[in-house]
Each structure stands twice: as C-alpha cells, then as structure tokens.
Amino acid sequence: MPDNNPYKAAYERERLARKKAEKFLDDKTRSLYDNIVQLQTTVRALEETQEQLVQAEKMASIGQLAAGVAHEINNPIGFSLSNLTTLSEYVQSIVKLDDMVINSNDTLEKNEFITQYQNLRKTEDIEFIKDDLQDLLGDTIKGLNRVSAIVSNLKKVTHAGELEMKACQINDIIEESIKVVWNELKYNMTVEKYFSPLPLLACHSGEIHQVLMNLFLNASHACDEEGLLIIKTYTKESKGKNWIVIEVSDNGKGMPSEVRKKIFDPFFTTKPVGVGTGLGLSVSFGIIEKHKGTIKVASEEGIGTTFSIHLPLNEQIKSTETL
C-alpha cells in the first residue's frame, strides 16, 4: 500500500530541494573559482604585455634618440674626413717641396737661406715629422671612417618609426649588430661566423637587431676570459615550410634546467640586482613570435648555451635573387 504519511512526503521534498540547492551552490562555486583562475591568468598576461609594451616604448624612444644623434654626428664627421683628406694632399705638396730643396742642396750656392733652412729642419726634426705625419693622418682618417661606419650601423639598427616589414639580408643584419656591440665583446670574446648564402627575408630589421644584440651581450656576460661566440646561419625545410635559422652559441657558464624553463619569463634574470631588467629575452621571444618564428635555447652547465632562431621565409620574398 502507498505511504500516505504527509510528514514523510514533506520531508522528502525538503531533502530533495536542499540537495538540489547544494548542487546548484556547488556548481556556482566551481564556476566562480574557474572564473577567478581565468581572471588571474588574464591579469598576469596583461601585466606581462604591459611591461613588454613599456620596454618596447623605451626601445623606440632610445632608437629615435640614437637615430637623431647619428644624424647630427654624421655632418661633422663628413666635413672632418673631407678636411683631413685635403690636408693630406697639402702635406704631400709640402713634402715634395722639402724633398726638392734637400735634393738640390749640393747644387745650390751655400748662402744664408740654405744654412738657415738646414738649421731649422734639424731644430724642428722635419725628417721625423715627414715620417710620422702620413701615419698620423692615415690613422685619423681610418678612425673617422670607423666612427662613420658605426654611426651608419647605428642608424640601421634603430630604424626609428619602422612600421612595415622590408626585404632584408639576415647576414648583413648580424654583421651590423656585431659592430654596434663590439665594444662590449672585444675584451673577452672571440667571434666566429659561419654564414650560408641566404635569400632575402621580410622582417622588421630594427627588431631583429634588438634580438641579436641582446643575445650577443648575454653571451658576453655569460663568459669570463677567452669567451667564444659562434654565429651560424643556414636555411632549413621543416613541416612543409622553408626557414632561415640563426644559431648563437657561447662557451660560457651554461644554465641548469630550472633556469632554462624560465629564461623567457618576464623579469626573470640570473644577473645581479641592478644589472639588467629581466625583460630582454622576454621581449626577444615576443619579437620572434611576431615574425611567426620560434626561438629556443639549449644549455649545459659548464659547457655553454645555444639559442636557435627559426624565421619563416615569405614566399614572395623567397623568390627574390639570393644575395
């Protein structure tokens, strides 16, 4: 017979309602928790993006300033080189005149002018000046030409206001980046380059410069004396795509696995406090991703580190003549 106890039926309805409410509350709690986790992840991503944008803005400002300084320096360097070249020609004329007088000395009548001229040559050590002057002018012209080359490379590296990708030769970009940071490398690094002929690549050259210079400086900081920086370039086909590969290797301290896992995280750095921001590799990672490429690291403690950059070749650019 059916149970017609009204109290028991009411109790059962209340129990079912409470169970349904508890399940509803549990579902809402889980949903809220998932939303909070997702929100925290979004906030962290936004913070990282903000820091990268701040860094990018700083780099853009520095690039604009450097480009302006390079432009201002170019003018005095230009006319200084022109003046020194003209001065070198003037000196040659004076040297020829002196040679003529000295070589004709035996045929000229001994007079007061000749005697005074010979005495003055000895007093002023003209022979030494003639020997040293051409070397002095030559070294000065070489030095100014080197400054001019550095300024030219600096302008190429900054590319202030660069908005569109342009066809570039990666090997040239590497050479220019090395020259810009050479003052940091020359004291403790030997640089070996193994470049393969490469097709042109569509890229933001200023950003690629930024990535390469960061890797070169990191390599220098990872090495003590007798550091070795090896740079290789080649093309590779993988997953149906053609890639330009840049490998940057050093024989420095290397990194343990726990450091390798965090190397591209924003603000992570193994450098002492006050040295570096911990954003260099994070920004570099973002730049390579922006170019639809990849950057990976392989490292072993006490052996060294290798960064491998893969940049996809644009089909239209790829068909351009290889430089």
- For 164-318, the fitting CATH number among 3.40.50.300, 3.40.50.720, 3.30.360.10, 3.30.565.10 is 3.30.565.10
- Alpha-carbon gap, residue 175 to 202, rounded angstroms: 18
> Model's pTM, two decimal places?
0.54
Look-up of token digits 């100014």: 144
- Token code pair at residue 52: 């990268």
Start-to-end CA span in the chain (Å)? 97
- Alpha-carbon gap, residue 120 to 42, rounded angstroms: 83
129-172, pLDDT tens digit by residue?
Answer: 777 777 777 777 777 777 776 666 666 555 544 557 889 999 99
For residue 147, what are the CA distances in angstroms to 75, 143, 177, 209, 266? 12, 6, 15, 19, 35
Rounded to 10 degrees, the C-alpha dihedral 51/54/60/65 comes to -130
pLDDT band at 72 (very low <50, low <70, confident <90, very high): low
Which residue spans within the chain are E strands per DSSP?
166-168, 189-195, 201-203, 227-238, 241-250, 294-300, 304-312
Look-up of token digits 């003590």: 224
168-217, pLDDT tens digit by residue?
Answer: 999 999 998 888 888 788 888 999 999 999 999 998 888 898 889 889 98
SS3 content of the chain, % helix, strand, coil (to 5): 60, 15, 25
Mean pLDDT, rounded, for 233-248: 92
Question: In the chain, what's the furthest Cα-to-Cα distance?
Answer: 157
| Domain segments of the chain as ranges | 8-161, 164-318
- Alpha-carbon gap, residue 213 to 59, rounded angstroms: 13
